[in-house]
Amino acid sequence: MEIVAKILIAFVAIEHLYILWMEMFAWETKGKEVFKSALPAEMFKPTKGLPIKDFITDFSRQDYSGLF
């Protein structure tokens, strides 16, 4: 059972890394293929920088004072 759990965890981790890659680096190429029916083509260029902006904003809001 432990092996199955590790395989599922690895699958979810790889899936999240793929989504991260697609949103940050391949939004205008692979993103258009994946979301072709959900978003109009003209929405990809203006929204290209949103994932990194959200990441930086969320990271800067975290309170890490209890960790150290």
In angstroms, rounded to a whole number, what is the distance separating the alpha carbons of residues 28 and 33? 9
With residue 36 as reference, give the H or E element that holds it.
none
Q: According to the model, what pLDDT value does residue 24 have? A: 83
pLDDT of residue 49: 78
Q: For position 13, what pLDDT does the model report?
A: 95
Could you tell me the residue ranges of all domains in the chain?
2-62
pTM as predicted: 0.65
Residue whose C-alpha is closest to residue 21's, from 44, 51, 45: 51
Q: Give the tens place of pLDDT for each residue, 12-35.
A: 999 999 988 888 888 888 888 888
Closest CA to 24 of 47, 46, 45, 52: 52
2-25 helix and 50-61 helix, angle to the nearest 10 degrees: 120
